[in-house]
Structure 1
């Protein structure tokens, strides 16, 4: 190795003489600004460091330690390796240790133990001299660390046997590097032919002779105390072990490079002049350097000899591994080469385990799929593995990213996949119960409608108010039928049906019931003011009122359609569970909770209003126009919907929200319809089917007469508390006489054109009016009830109550 200080001295003295080195590999000599006249036929250690880094990378080792002998060679080589590894990334240095020039006893044991502190960094990059290498191996052997460390040696180790003598097992598997070279056979022939007589010009040859043959040349020999005297007839290679020095090729190439440069310079400068021309007498160093850098020839080993702009030879290395074969003999085996790029025969590798599987030298084990690396600060090759949680997937080696809202991580969390889309299936338990109740309700409603149609003219059907009954039964039927669009797979048609019929069934039912209770209330309220019938109580008027109320619901639906046309969407938030595996997108109609409240709100308003009227009419006679059954129906319906609200809106955060809300809504509608059907119509159907003897007419009365009687009853009750009994009866009888006279006048005007049947009906009405009058006005009817009453005041009240009961009996059969 050329001493860098000597080169620097020449530069300082400004001696511009080109130099060609055959062994110097120090990286700083590549600095052309400082050592511009320096060239070499061996590659610098920077190439060697790059080749060693490529080897480490190919082995999959990313956590290594470095070990250097103190001095220019070792420290420069490690520095080059560290710098290149830092620039390229991927390899981290666990420790950088230095072997002192004059190590103290136990120094190598301390170094080995320090290397063991980072036990994961099994690979050790060594830029050390032969003696240091041998002593490190010996220390590792003493500490029973055979097979633990993975040695990567520089060209100072190369394929030499001296560092591994008696350390074969601990050195097994070591990977070493050596500039590519070949043995020069011509030199072997020449050197083996040298003797003391034909090589006198080499002043060091005599010393070599003594050293090589272990003898002493005369009195002035260089080996004092040697018992053997050299004869001079010894022969190199015959009487001693001979191995060609590895640098012979580079020495010859350096000489030839200078010769080729001078020869080319002579041709260019002297132009055919024989011998040394005057112009070459004073050679300009810069001009000679240009010719040196331009040479290109095949060297002594057959490899090209060239220089780059910095005077460096191209990097060409052979890669060896120290292996022990089956016969327990150790040898260096070529496993690859490096010429700007690495070629490594991985199948030729052999380790202490006896197989070709690569040992590990890593700080952290590779993360599994779906895990990201969280790098330890300052040590990029060491990390902790963190799993990508929730809806995150492994985007890169170091990052997790959130999947789009409609997607979830795949099984390995290396990408995203669409979240499955679900809907309420017909076979689901959440659908089977509502459908079962709905089917039973539809069958029951159909049976009631058929029964009412068949017995259309019977007293019970007529007394129920046929027109309003059919409206109410239509609403009940719609409440049952809405179950099917609510469970069907959402599409444009289904969503449209949901919007239309969601609140329409309840609206039909509640509007009909409200109209009925309102009529009853107005009839009895009117009786408190006058003995006349209130307005708009005929069946036609009731139908107009009912459909007016229903039209408000239909108008709201039309506005809803215009403002927000129906469509479907997929709700990924409803079943977005913490575990993405259970996440589902729910196919829905665009009916929000607010829209649902608005759709059902009007029907609920009608229900509440109807309930208020039912409470107000709770005191009417028991059999009057279904007042009490309607009241019980409304009370029960209110309880159902009061239970519906917390169940429906209390499941907003549930993973099964769709199922619970759909089932709750449909069952609530079906139960409301069932209550109305059971309380209002099932008793009537029972009488019609099983007790037809009770479904016969008793008397025929005009609607006006009945209403008049009802208003009179209410009036009578009001006056009872204000006037004596006789005055009440007198006033009441006078009112009835006036009413009867008006009815008689009307009959006389129409007498010429009425039919016989109509005449009979009118006659019955007149008879009934007389009987009503007698019943109300006869002192007997009052006294018969009041004979046993001790107080006169109570007698008056009891007589009025008896009169009221008699009138209500007539009202029940007609209304």
Structure 2
């Protein structure tokens, strides 16, 4: 009589337990059955990958555009929404710069108002100075609108003030430099002062330049009313766990640049006039400080364009690479779930940091560029005047009035003498002698 000792049986791979007499094991959650052709009771288990979830035991289905599969891939869940947070380091730096700039601007404006009738304030063109300080103030204010949570109101104010602050600033500076240029060009041909150089005329010219920007914004409002969107495609990585929706205003990068385009045109034109008036004596106008301001501002905005577009594209590519690596590590080899490797956890963490960089870089770059532009104008044009007003009031005195002809004659003389090599201050002496002669 035969007897079978099961405990002594040897099975493949050294197994001691009796193997199951089935063709295929049940599939785990998130896997579909792929039936083997010709064998109805046999199948292969295939995971639902990407943005698919398990609809039934034989089918995987793609989640909708604003959804992603859950941890078990048995259903879909909403994709998290992200935005630039006030506590983020990307927001703290521009906000700090903006707050310092606002305090400095208000201090300068208060100083000018308190000493409104002093010679330095009058010589700097009080009316245009206050217009320029208003534009600088708006350049700082836009930082808070760019970081605030987008809604219809915030998006509307962004459209209005994004280019308006720069437009007001450079319209005032362009009017100043154009006035200086016309005065000394007219003086070379005639002793008659040019037209439209009075404070009222200067304000009218500046207002007309600003109205072009406002008209463009009104047309933009009529053609495309402001709205908010949640962009799911921009931050949709290969690994759905890293996908995020970006809450933002319905404004494209092209529309953003077009909004700033008119202000940049004013800036370039002002720089051209600053170059033309660079030889005018510093005693008679602000040509040289305006020139240094415009040169520095042009450098800031030349650096802004490649950073705004180039860095964002580079970050997007890096996101895709990291997301692809995480996805591969998750599915290579056995599909059994276990502890996530430390290296993979680090990659996933890096991915979660990278997916918001494009939004952060563009917003931070734009706000810092505007803050720097405003700070350059404030520092070079007004801080020296405030220093003299507060700490050297003895220099804030009325100088001898000279006729229009005398001023232009001295300017022409200084230009000629600057091209001559005069040792031991001879050129300066000759210029001073001519100034005294012309004044008399």
| TM-score in terms of structure 2 length | 0.81
> CA shift at 1:388, angstroms?
2.2
Q: Which residue of 1 aligns with 2:124?
A: 464
> CA shift at 1:602, angstroms?
0.4
CA gap 1:418/1:716 in 2 versus in 1, 3 angstroms: same
Structure 1 counterpart of 2:394, from 693, 716, 720: 693
Structure 2 counterpart of 1:378, from 25, 38, 51: 38
**Structure 2 SS opposite 1:532:** coil
Q: Which residue of 2 aligns with 1:684?
A: 385
Counterparts of 1:665-680 in structure 2, within 5 Å, are: 665-680=366-381
> CA shift at 1:697, angstroms?
1.7
Task: Give the distance between the partners of 1:798 and 1:548, measured in 2 at CA.
Answer: 41
**Structure 1 SS opposite 2:57:** coil
Note if 1:434 corresponds to 2:434.
no
Q: Which residue of 2 aligns with 1:344?
A: none
**Structure 2 SS opposite 1:482:** helix
Task: Give the distance between the partners of 1:692 and 1:507, measured in 2 at CA.
Answer: 33
> CA shift at 1:410, angstroms?
0.9
Counterparts of 1:197-346 in structure 2, within 5 Å, are: none
Q: Looking at both structures, which has the greater relative contact order when contacts are Cα pairs under 8 Å and sequence separation is at least 6?
A: 2
CA gap 1:645/1:581 in 2 versus in 1, 3 angstroms: same
Structure 1 counterpart of 2:219, from 553, 559, 582: 559
> CA shift at 1:799, angstroms?
10
**Structure 2 SS opposite 1:373:** strand
**Structure 2 SS opposite 1:393:** strand
Note if 1:661 corresponds to 2:362.
yes
Q: Given that residues 528 and 714 in structure 1 are in contact (C-alpha distance below 8 angstroms), is that contact kept between their aligned partners in structure 2?
A: no
Per-residue CA distance 1:513-563 (angstroms, 9 max, x = gap): 111111111112112222221111111111111111000000000001111
Q: Which residue of 1 aligns with 2:293?
A: 633
**Structure 1 SS opposite 2:233:** strand
Structure 2 counterpart of 1:578, from 223, 238, 241: 238
Q: Which residue of 2 aligns with 1:569?
A: 229
Task: Give the distance between the partners of 2:191 and 2:413, measured in 1 at CA.
Answer: 9
CA gap 1:144/1:717 in 2 versus in 1, 3 angstroms: closer
Q: Given that residues 391 and 402 in structure 1 are in contact (C-alpha distance below 8 angstroms), is that contact kept between their aligned partners in structure 2?
A: yes
**Structure 2 SS opposite 1:644:** helix
Uncovered stretches (5+) of structure 1, i.e. residues with no partner: 1-133, 149-351, 721-787, 790-794, 811-815
Task: Give the distance between the partners of 2:98 and 2:31, measured in 1 at CA.
Answer: 51
Q: Given that residues 280 and 415 in structure 2 are in contact (C-alpha distance below 8 angstroms), is that contact kept between their aligned partners in structure 1?
A: no
Aligned CA RMSD, in angstroms, stands at 3.1
Task: Give the distance between the partners of 1:645 and 1:706, measured in 2 at CA.
Answer: 46
CA gap 1:447/1:807 in 2 versus in 1, 3 angstroms: farther
Task: Give the distance between the partners of 1:446 and 1:517, measured in 2 at CA.
Answer: 24
Structure 2 counterpart of 1:403, from 63, 85, 102: 63
Q: Which residue of 2 aligns with 1:515?
A: 175
Note if 1:599 corresponds to 2:296.
no
CA gap 1:517/1:807 in 2 versus in 1, 3 angstroms: farther
Task: Give the distance between the partners of 1:719 and 1:685, measured in 2 at CA.
Answer: 32
CA gap 1:396/1:496 in 2 versus in 1, 3 angstroms: same
Per-residue CA distance 1:704-728 (angstroms, 9 max, x = gap): x5433334456778999xxxxxxxx
Per-residue CA distance 1:442-494 (angstroms, 9 max, x = gap): 00000000000000011111111100100000000000011111111111111
**Structure 2 SS opposite 1:362:** coil
Q: Which residue of 2 aligns with 1:708?
A: 405
Note if 1:415 corresponds to 2:70.
no
Q: Which residue of 2 aligns with 1:485?
A: 145
Q: Given that residues 271 and 294 in structure 2 are in contact (C-alpha distance below 8 angstroms), is that contact kept between their aligned partners in structure 1?
A: yes
Q: Which residue of 1 aligns with 2:343?
A: none
CA gap 1:803/1:555 in 2 versus in 1, 3 angstroms: farther
- Count the aligned residue pairs: 388
**Structure 1 SS opposite 2:56:** coil
Per-residue CA distance 1:428-451 (angstroms, 9 max, x = gap): 111111111111100000000000
Q: Given that residues 406 and 435 in structure 2 are in contact (C-alpha distance below 8 angstroms), is that contact kept between their aligned partners in structure 1?
A: no
Task: Give the distance between the partners of 2:34 and 2:276, measured in 1 at CA.
Answer: 75
Task: Give the distance between the partners of 1:687 and 1:582, measured in 2 at CA.
Answer: 57
> CA shift at 1:578, angstroms?
2.3
The structure with more helix, counted as a fraction of residues = 2
Q: Given that residues 68 and 79 in structure 2 are in contact (C-alpha distance below 8 angstroms), is that contact kept between their aligned partners in structure 1?
A: yes
Q: Given that residues 409 and 580 in structure 1 are in contact (C-alpha distance below 8 angstroms), is that contact kept between their aligned partners in structure 2?
A: yes
Task: Give the distance between the partners of 2:227 and 2:121, measured in 1 at CA.
Answer: 43
**Which structure's CA Rg is the greater one?**
1
Q: Which residue of 1 aligns with 2:327?
A: none
**Structure 2 SS opposite 1:413:** coil
